[in-house]
Amino acid sequence: MLEWTFTVLFTIEYILRLSCISKPFLYATSFLGLIDLLAIVPSYLSIFYAGAQSLLVLRALRLLRIFRIFKLNHFLTEMQFLGSALRGSFKKIMIFMLAVLAIVVILGSVMYLVEGRQNGFTSIPDSIYWAIVTITTVGYGDISPVTSWGKFIASIIMFIGYGIIAVPTGIITTEIALAAKNRGHQHEACPSCGREGHDDDADYCKWCGEKL
């Protein structure tokens, strides 16, 4: 009964939305309009097709509407700011990851020679897998060194792993600081319409008139 009650309510809401807007076809074919349609269609399909009830999970897509409450366009400028910092640090992080990959391959191969098949390091790829698990501080424990030299090398990899964790964070933080410096004292996005590009001495938004 609750299922059909909600279905009827969603159906009435969908019909009212189509009837009160000037271009109902544009809404019906929009992303949110399709979500509204998918939220009610499975219930009616279940009358004719027994397995259609499983499609009711599509109703969860309506939760996407809650993001309208937050007015995320206000944060668009900060999202673009963070995106520019990530793009600026992409090459540095890729070079760093290539260096880490080289370290992992070398140390994994060394561990294969030191430990050997009898201690679980059956191949170089398996040894490289162990090195990746160790250097990322995950430590599954499915493969572990037995010999003294193997434990010594594992200790070195663990220390390298702790140092590696901080490097990408530092690169991104530096790019964010540079982006913030380049942005200077420019106005951020308008709190009402989310648009930017205002003059430095502007007190009000040039598009909607909201106070900056």
Write down the pLDDT at residue 172: 84
In this predicted model, what pLDDT tens digit does every residue of 166-187 receive, in sequence order? 888 888 888 888 777 766 545 5
Counting Cβ atoms within 10 Å, is residue 157 exposed (0-12), middle (13-18) or buried (19+)? Answer: buried
Domains and CATH numbers, the chain: 2-70 (no CATH), 74-183 (1.10.287.70)
In the predicted structure, residue 165 carries a pLDDT above the cut 60: yes
Higher pLDDT, 189 or 111: 111
Identify which has the larger pLDDT, 160 or 212: 160
The packing angle between helices 2-20 and 31-48, to 10°, is 140
Question: What local confidence, expressed as pLDDT, does residue 185 receive?
Answer: 47
Residue 114 near residue 149 (C-beta atoms within 8 A):
yes
Per-residue pLDDT tens for 55-67?
566 666 666 555 5
Confidence (pLDDT) at 198: 67
Find how far residue 112's CA is from the centre of its chain: 36
Across 16-25, 43-52, 97-106, 190-199, the highest mean pLDDT is recorded for 97-106
Confidence at residue 58, expressed as pLDDT on a 0 to 100 scale? 62
Distant-in-sequence, close-in-space partners of 111: CB < 8 Å, separation ≥ 6 = 121, 127, 130, 131, 145, 150, 153, 154
pLDDT for 125 equals: 92
d(CA 84, CA 143): 40
Greatest alpha-carbon span in the chain: 77
Q: How confident is the model at residue 209 (pLDDT cuts 50, 70, 90)?
A: confident
CA distance linking residue 98 with residue 92, whole number of Å: 10
**What mean pLDDT value characterizes the chain?**
80
Those residues with Cβ within 8 angstroms of residue 194's Cβ, 6 or more apart along the chain or in another chain: 71, 73, 74, 76, 77
Q: Of 100-114, 150-164, 184-198, where does mean pLDDT reach its minimum?
A: 184-198
Structure tokens at 114: 């030191």
**Mean local confidence (pLDDT), 12-33:** 86
Q: What integer pLDDT is reported at residue 67 of this predicted model?
A: 55
30: left (phi over 0), alpha (psi -120 to 50) or beta: beta
What residues are paired with 16 via a beta bridge?
none
For the segment 120-155, what is each residue's pLDDT rounded down to a tens digit?
899 999 999 999 999 988 888 888 899 999 999 999
What SS3 class is residue 138? coil
Burial 24-49 (b: 16+ CB within 10 A, else e): eeebeeeeebebbeebbbbbeebeee
Put simply, whether the predicted model's pTM sits higher than 0.85 gets the answer: no
Question: Does position 80 have pLDDT exceeding 80, yes or no?
Answer: no
Res 84: pLDDT: 77
Residue 111: its pLDDT value, please?
92
- What confidence score (pLDDT) does residue 128 get? 93
Per-residue burial over 196-205, b if 16 or more Cβ lie within 10 Å, else e, is bebeeeeeeb
Q: What is the total residue count of the chain?
A: 212
